[in-house]
Amino acid sequence: MSEKKVLYSGMQATNTLTLGNYLGALKNWVKLHEEYECIFGVMDLHSLTVRQEPATFRKNARSLYALYTAAGLDPKENCVYFQSHVSAHAQLSWILSCFTYMGELSRMTQYKDKAAKHEDNVNAGLFTYPVLMAADILLYQSDVVPVGVDQKQHLEIARDIAGRFNNIYGDVFTIPEAYFGTTGAKVMSLADPTKKMSKSDENANATVLLLDDRDTIIRKFKRAVTDSDTRVYYSEDKPGVSNLMEIYSAVTGSSFDEIENEFEGKGYGDFKLAVGEAVADELAPLQKRYDELMKDKTYIDECIKENDDKARYMANKTLFKVHHKVGLVDLIR
């Protein structure tokens, strides 16, 4: 068994990833396997809280696996697996739901937000979503979990559930900590820089997708909302330009001061074009590798099988221990 601490994370398998997903998380995940034993899930069960078109959903999930790999998450060095292929997630989620209180779940802000957006489909899965997320994390005895602002509540409730279970049955679960290592860029909408970039945004120009072609990427940045000023500098009063500077800094490595100096005396038009070109250059190798992977079904299938088997082994070790602790008849293996 590795002496490294376990780091766990994943993304939902709906639509393709955005530039925000890449710069805010995925790009930074690639650097972590040297320090941690990394487990990354294609979180397809979580995606079912919203109705999915089956063929498209299946294609998107496989596409996400290929994007993980194309971005640099080598399945030979990380455990990259499908959540739905490990039945222990659903099994532990049910057990943990019996140790979770209705009041805790009703206070989750993400449930309130999603229920408001999907008033025609406020299902029980939406309500118990945090319990499944707790199961995801706790199954692998995760030491650390990278979290954004919108995920802090979910990690907190996972910690609460684990602590409650441990208080009754002993040290069964590792209590996970939030990971605050190298943080990615906070990427906002190109159409409304006061909102986070989202793959569900109805305005196509608001979001740069990882599989957008070069011309589309540059066109979207040319249309990015800024302000009536012309000077490029970072300020809370200039959310549009500041967002573009965050993105440019993330893909070029330039500091804000260096960016300001680079575009001294130039207008927003020059800056927007430069950001678009820099992003297109950053994504070109990923897109090329993605296209190669999507054509190599044998390799992807081999990686999926190997990693699913590895994930099942780790998850079942925890599940069998939980079964025994709560008094279920031990599985005959």
Rounded Cα distance, 75 and 29, in Å: 13
Residue 108 is classified by DSSP as -
190 sits in which H/E element: none
Rounded Cα distance, 77 and 122, in Å: 39
* Residues facing residue 219 across a β-bridge: none
| Residue 261 Cα distances to 139, 265, 273, 316, angstroms | 49, 9, 17, 55
CA angle (296 as vertex; 294, 298 as ends), nearest 5: 125
Classify residue 117 as exposed, middle or buried by CB count within 10 Å of its CB (0-12, 13-18, 19+): exposed
Q: Which residues are catalytic?
A: 114, 196, 199
**204: which residues sit within 8 A by CB, 6+ positions away?**
none
**Sheet bearing 144-146, strands edge to edge:** 79-82, 36-43, 5-12, 144-146, 177-179
Classify residue 79 as exposed, middle or buried by CB count within 10 Å of its CB (0-12, 13-18, 19+): buried
31 SS3 class:
coil
11 SS3 class:
strand
Taking each helix axis as running N to C, give the angle between helix 88-97 and helix 297-326, from 0 to 180 degrees, rounded to the nearest 10. 30
Q: For the residues of 54-76, what is the DSSP string, one character each?
A: HHHHHHHHHHHHHHHHHHT--TT
